Structure 1
Amino acid sequence: MSLGDEQGYTDYGDTGHTRTRLPEGDPYGGAPRRGGRRSSSRSLVTVVGVVVLLIAAIAFANRGDDASSDTPTNKQPQPKAAPTAPTGTKPVQTKTGTIPSGFPHTQQGAESAAANYAVALGSAEMFYRSSRDLILQAVITPSGVSSSEAAFDKAYTSAFSKSLGLNEDGTAPKGYTFVSRTSPIGTKVTEATTDAATVEVWCSGLLGLAGDKSTNPVTNSWFTITMKLEWAANDWKIITHSQKEGPAPVPGDDRAADANEMSKAVNEYGGFTYAR
């Protein structure tokens, strides 16, 4: 969760005008669609509140990890960033639960791990304690699992769930579909040693509640997750991770899907295993 999660806009200056075509019917039972760079006051407050809470979740998870900033990884010269290009290497063939695992002990393996871990941390399963703990056990370095579980429990509260229109236990009300999905766009290694790497993952995310009378319709956001990884237990694992907004493209003029279309898409289209 994700964690998605999960949302500012890049200022492109005076580069022209963005056309916005509104749908024939109000999406999500009358809820306003975000057009261009503006939305209603209620939607803006809701989105900002969600962003703050999601970032707070990550901040909770990273408390007490400041000592890692003194590791040899951070003292290495920063390598030149390379574009994310196909290499022909097959994705991993194993999973821990539903999360890909067994990544190569290489820089490319670290990038693939970071991309897949971003998907897991931004998923709807992060909102339920049982599935959240399984995700953290799969992606966090073994020594940090317990503290991460406790930190995320403090962040994913019943109040947080209610702010998204969910029930207190994180489930969606009857007749609604909760959407929390992260899609990596690209990865970049900024620091690397034999057994450690810092990887940035540029992502697009969906978050909201699809339903005819939803006051929190599914919206799109753009953000970058930075993960510090170490080679542990024969795989790449997260030491710390953080998130920042953008870079976000100028919104297009696509017609907003209605509640039924969005629910159907989320239920029918599965995710990917990411690898270069």
Structure 2
Amino acid sequence: MPRTLFIDSTPDIDRVWKRVHGPADIPITVAMGPVSEEEVPGKVAGYDTVINDATYFSEPTLKRCTGLKHIVFLGTGAASFVDLAAAERLGIKVSTIGGYGDTTVAEHAMGLVFAAARHIATMHGIVRGGGWRPMQGMELRGKTLGVVGLGGIGREMARIAGGVGLKVIGYNRSPVSGGGVPIATIDELLAQSDIVSLHLALNEGTRGFLDRARLERTKPGVVIVNTARAGIVDEPALVELLRAGRIGHYATDVFGKEPPSPEEPLLTLDNVTLTAHAGYNTPEAAMTMYRRAIDLAAKGWSTP
């Protein structure tokens, strides 16, 4: 039986985890995070399987985890936290969990659309600070939402958006049935969309997908929503275009480094809405994800 460590739980996670992990399941040691990269090898020592929420496993770190055989990543974006190529070279299996929270993440993305369109977070901060500034926003009905990536979350986003009166168009990197969503090329989508919502997995084919050239093809004043991964967007170009007002607003749940450092440029901008990588975080989605993580850990690293 694999010896399994949940390396970086949190009090919020643990409350739900205890409802899922039962006496009939494999034993799993639960440690509280966050965990710095320097601490990882010591934490992992004696375990062959690690369940990972948000701990970084670079190639140097992986090389020091000599007994590690399997990382079960809580979510789909393992590439943001684990050097997948290095893990493969070292014979460390990396399992991911998808489809556990399509509705939950799409609802969060739509919440970011509303917040960005009506400057909710900005006005909240002003009012909390004793000020008063009624800000003019965007009425969503009749506007165009471009959904980039028509997997489970993207399709849910399209469904929710249609219900609030948005005109939805979609783009997918590979041929896919749009489920009633008109399909456009990426250039067509960027040119037509008042709001662009990103739902791509991060891999070598999508890293920097929204580069400077594509960002400059968007409609002036566009709102960009990112509940996928930060690496999909060329952040230096994005920040420059936000500062110039060419991009109207960036609402993101994801950062290149999480939590972001105090030097993160997005923290200095007014035309952003920022949340703490919580799009997946409801009890309903979390229970499904943790159940699958336990089952994957139980299967071990040798199962194809």
Q: TM-score range by the shorter chain?
A: under 0.3
**Structure that is richer in strand per residue:** 1
Normalization by structure 1: what TM-score?
0.28
Q: TM-score, normalised by structure 2?
A: 0.26
Q: Which structure has the greater CA radius of gyration?
A: 2
Which structure is higher in RCO with an 8 Å CA cutoff and minimum separation 6? 1
